[in-house]
Structure 1
Amino acid sequence: MSGLLKPLRRGVWRYLSDRDILLAALVTTIVFVGSLGLIYVAHAVGVWRLARHSPVTPPRRGTMLVFGRRLVDDRPEHDFIGRLTRAGNNARSGHADRVLLLGGMSGGSISEAEAGRRWLVEKGWPDDVPLLLEQISIDSLENLRHARELLRHDAGPDLPAVNLVTSRYHLARCMYLARRLGFDASPIGAEARLPLDRRYVLRMLMEAGYLMWIDTGMRWAALIGNHRMAARIS
């Protein structure tokens, strides 16, 4: 049984035993029904627009954060390889001062970040670009929160501007969380252009649901003055 439940411990599913998160889900459902789905559609359009229009090179040279993804036999899978490839291309072309790989353990014997580091080194990593690892997070929010701690340790309370590298379907959620956490962030798409196959469209629709859930929960917390709930993404 524990093996069957293991996937639920990652991502948004790990919060399903949390009353604040469940309350946010209930409120989100009410908002969805009350708006006849229009609020969800607005989030879906936002996810699509960011996925469609984000560049593949940073608007400024700086710190690059690369989001991990669940490994397959301790190796990066397709989407993660796309993110690593984009980061490597930008690092080699002089668009990164340093690169921070994000991702903890996801069922294998090494972290996502370490697997990403090994893959990049195999492909030839430039010696003049520091490659750092964040290896204790298990979802996008923890990725960014721990990255913030690492960057503050190096640079003090003023966070440097960052460029977020991830799959295009994932950009909207990462940008939302980064801004809530105080980052000056810019999105970088892993893919050269937005794929529109069935799998990718489904991923974007799922991301719109996650984003609506998070955003509605934060707005509800602000409305009722639930500081504990609001502090989850701050």
Structure 2
Amino acid sequence: MPRPLQRNPWRYMRDADVLHAAVVTLLAVLLSAGLVWLGYLAHVWRIARGARTTLSGRWVVLVFGRQLAGDEPGHDYRGRLARALVLLREGRARRVLLLGGYSGGRRSEAEAGHAWLQRQGLPADARVELEQESVDSLENLRHARGLLQGGDRAEVMPPVALLTSRYHLARCLLLARRLGFDGHPVAAEETLPRTPRYLARLVMEATYLMWIDLGVRWARLIGHRRMAGRIS
């Protein structure tokens, strides 16, 4: 049986398209004296601060995984799962997809998340599905799209709630919309934390978002179809 893929962000640095996007992003930051990056940081902050924690109606909810700590959900992931549990108990989640493959442990993030939900009192009638093949947010969404479409790319996807930590919302929202989702952000935390750790997360997310967005925009500008098609 083949070994499952593991989460390893450094694997992308061997990708020519990713490096191409990194060079373009660095030049944009230098030529703008950092103003471009500040714009992305403001966007990430705005999405993180303004995201809601509740839903009206009944939704398909995508819960993004996070690297496990000793085969168990860590702090951020538990927060996302706890919010999903609230939505299930309130009847706001008609279908929940737990997203996340193997991140170094013996079980997938989705599997560990499902086990945690069961220990916390997952409703017996909850419709929960596990997506266990992905190793990053882009793959999370690609596999979720396949599950929602049932293999038929012509099938119209329902609107989805993107449930994750506040710092992660802007990136997930960008990727979801590029992949054709009608995505709506839902925050795990009640309010935006102001701790040094959390602010560092926001800074990193702004950098990731800029890298992704500028890379795709540049690829489209120069007609680089393979590079532009990396997020599709």
How far the C-alpha of 1:154 sits from its partner, in A, is: 7.6
**Aligned mates of 1:154, 1:161 — CA distance in 2:** 18
The 5-angstrom pairing of residues 200-219 of structure 1 reads 200-219=198-217
| Match status 1:161 vs 2:159 | yes
Paired with 1:58 and 1:138, the residues of 2 have a C-alpha distance of 28
Return the offset for 1:205. 0.3
How big is the shift at 1:171? 0.3
**Identity within the alignment, %:** 56
Task: Quickly say closer, same or farther: Cα 1:21–1:117, change in 2 above 3 A.
Answer: same
Using the alignment, how far apart are the partners of 2:151 and 2:127 within structure 1? 13
User: Normalising by structure 2, what TM-score?
Assistant: 0.95
Which residue among 138, 141, 144 is the counterpart of 1:144? Answer: 141
Cα distance in structure 2, aligned partners of 1:58 and 1:42:
29
Name the aligned partner's letter for residue 184 of structure 1: D
Aligned length: 227
Shift of 1:58: 2.2
Q: Which residue number in structure 2 is paired with residue 179 of structure 1? A: 177
Asked if 2 retains the 8 angstrom alpha-carbon contact of 1:70 and 1:106, the reply is: yes
CA distance in 1, matches of 2:127, 2:160: 15
2:78 — aligned with what?
Answer: 81
Report Cα offsets for 1:139-178 as digits up to 9, x if no partner.
Answer: 0000000000111008862111100110000000000000
Match of 2:108 in 1: 111
Higher helix share: 1
Give the structure 2 partner of residue 70 of structure 1: 67
Structure 1: give runs of 5+ residues left out of the alignment. 1-5
| Distance (Å, rounded) in 1 between the aligned partners of 2:208 and 2:163 | 19
Report the Cα distance in structure 1 between the residues aligned to 2:210 and 2:57, rounded to whole angstroms.
30
Query: Secondary structure of the equivalent of 2:147?
Result: helix
Deviation at 1:80, TM superposition (A): 0.3
Structure-2 residue corresponding to 1:32? 29
Q: CA deviation at 1:39?
A: 0.8
Unaligned ranges ≥5, structure 2: none
Instruction: Determine the C-alpha separation between the residues in 1 that align with 2:221 and 2:198.
Output: 34
